């Protein structure tokens, strides 16, 4: 089985590459993965080809995605804060590149599985206490609008028989390793990741603000599962709200305290940023994910477990975390 992954230099993509190489898809081994990104995929394996290029480049698509490609996972995107600040860049990457990828898949004539990652930013405005599977989208940011357009395109290309598409509305991922990015939700990882490393972190939103979260491990579980879900079970509605955790920022910090001690949480300071709070507060913070769970998608147990999983990934113990480096 051959798979193409856009955004292949990112941490989620590299985790997914490793998972697919180890576990395959629906019992079938993955023999080749081609990644496309402006930075190389860090996974070193003879079955992985990393193409450093623009995802919308026709020559790149022709090289990376052929009639032998069984599935395409589209992770490449301009993130929320950056898409809001640079409208043209967001439109070019989040819409134009997605359309180019879909058109290339259409031209193959092989109807590959197409996994598109959307976001809770698809929602906004007046929302129910818990978002339902049939709650209408009303994005309040350019990023959200761009993601909804991608969702609709995936649905229509599937309806026409060009692809076998599925869109996952992914909760905010926490805890992301590495450096902060330009996503409005970047702090949701920074307030955990940086203090654990002995670095001061700024929280730009109020502790009462709630978020819909998912760990990297569950995100990879769900991305891998999306490659296996029977399209007949999805029917005409190809967009799925993924399960997650509804957690306040204050509760996230308390979970960090539980997992790592008081000294770590003392490295967090509140410094309000109204622009960030406005964007993040417009997103829904709780979902009723009956359909996703019935399809086999999964959520984390609790946020303390998420913090501890990140610590384990970083090779940290609770004792070490309570005495962070200075």
The correct answer on CATH 3.40.50.720 for the domain covering 2-171+215-241 is: yes
pLDDT score for 139: 94
User: What would the pLDDT profile of 16-37 be if each residue is shown by its tens digit?
Assistant: 999 999 999 999 999 999 999 9
User: What would the pLDDT profile of 255-280 be if each residue is shown by its tens digit?
Assistant: 999 999 999 999 999 999 999 999 89
pLDDT score for 57: 92
pLDDT score for 183: 80
Calculate ∠ Cα 278-304-17, nearest 5°: 80
* Average confidence (pLDDT) over 125-144: 94
- H or E element, residue 211: strand 210-214
Residues 218, 176: Cα–Cα separation, whole Å: 12
pLDDT score for 323: 54
Using alpha carbons, list the distances in angstroms from residue 179 to 102, 154, 273.
Answer: 31, 31, 20
User: What would the pLDDT profile of 152-187 be if each residue is shown by its tens digit?
Assistant: 999 999 999 999 999 999 999 999 988 777 788 899
pLDDT score for 178: 80
| Structure token digits, residue 265 | 């949480």
User: What would the pLDDT profile of 1-19 be if each residue is shown by its tens digit?
Assistant: 999 999 999 999 999 999 9
pLDDT score for 182: 74
Q: What is the overall mean pLDDT for the chain? A: 94
pLDDT score for 123: 94
Residues 210, 248: Cα–Cα separation, whole Å: 4
Helix (H, G, I), strand (E, B) or coil at 129: coil
pLDDT score for 173: 94
pLDDT of residue 321 exceeding 60, the answer is no
Percent of the chain with pLDDT over 90: 90
pLDDT score for 234: 96
Q: Give the catalytic positions in this structure.
A: 143
Residues 6 or more apart in contact with residue 285 via CB below 8 angstroms: 209, 210, 211, 212, 246
pLDDT score for 180: 76
Residues 239, 169: Cα–Cα separation, whole Å: 7
Residues 168, 166: Cα–Cα separation, whole Å: 7
Q: pLDDT band at residue 322, thresholds of 50, 70 and 90?
A: low
pLDDT of residue 66 exceeding 80, the answer is yes
| Structure token digits, residue 181 | 């990015």
pLDDT of residue 55 exceeding 80, the answer is yes
User: What would the pLDDT profile of 83-130 be if each residue is shown by its tens digit?
Assistant: 999 999 999 999 999 999 999 999 999 999 999 999 999 999 999 999
* Average confidence (pLDDT) over 219-232: 97
**15 cis-preceded (ω within 30 degrees of 0):** no
Q: pLDDT band at residue 318, thresholds of 50, 70 and 90?
A: low
Q: Return the domain boundaries, the chain.
A: 2-171+215-241
Calculate ∠ Cα 265-81-227, nearest 5°: 90
pLDDT score for 324: 52
Decide: 260 and 196 in contact? Cβ < 8 Å.
yes
């Amino acid at each position: 089985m051959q798979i193409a992954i856009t955004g292949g230099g990112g941490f989620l993509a590299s985790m997914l590459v490793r998972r697919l190489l180890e576990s395959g898809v629906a019992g079938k081994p993955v023999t080749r993965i081609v990644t496309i990104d402006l930075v190389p995929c860090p996974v070193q394996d003879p079955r992985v080809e990393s193409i450093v290029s623009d995802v919308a480049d026709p020559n790149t698509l022709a090289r990376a995605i052929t009639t032998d490609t069984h599935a395409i996972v589209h992770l490449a995107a301009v993130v929320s804060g950056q898409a809001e600040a640079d409208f043209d860049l967001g439109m070019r990457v989040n819409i134009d590149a997605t359309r180019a990828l879909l058109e290339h898949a259409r031209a193959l004539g092989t109807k590959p599985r197409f996994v598109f990652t959307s976001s809770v930013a698809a929602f906004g405005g007046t929302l129910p206490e818990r978002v339902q599977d049939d709650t209408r989208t009303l994005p309040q940011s350019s990023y959200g609008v761009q993601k909804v357009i991608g969702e609709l395109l995936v649905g229509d290309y599937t309806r026409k028989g060009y692809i076998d598409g599925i869109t996952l509305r992914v909760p905010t991922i926490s805890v992301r390793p590495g450096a902060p990015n330009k996503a409005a939700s970047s702090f949701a990882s920074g307030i955990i990741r940086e203090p654990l490393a002995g670095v001061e972190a700024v929280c730009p939103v109020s502790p009462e603000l709630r978020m819909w979260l998912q760990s990297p491990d569950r995100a990879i579980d769900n991305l891998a599962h999306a490659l296996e879900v029977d399209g007949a079970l999805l029917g005409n509605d190809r967009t799925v709200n993924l399960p997650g955790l509804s957690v306040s920022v204050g509760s996230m910090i308390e979970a960090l305290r539980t997992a790592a001690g008081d000294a770590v949480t003392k490295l967090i300071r509140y410094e309000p940023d109204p622009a960030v709070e406005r964007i993040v507060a417009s997103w829904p913070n709780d979902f009723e994910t009956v359909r996703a769970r019935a399809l086999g998608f999964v959520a984390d147990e609790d946020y303390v477990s998420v913090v501890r999983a990140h610590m384990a990934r970083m090779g940290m113990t609770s004792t070490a975390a309570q005495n962070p480096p200075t």
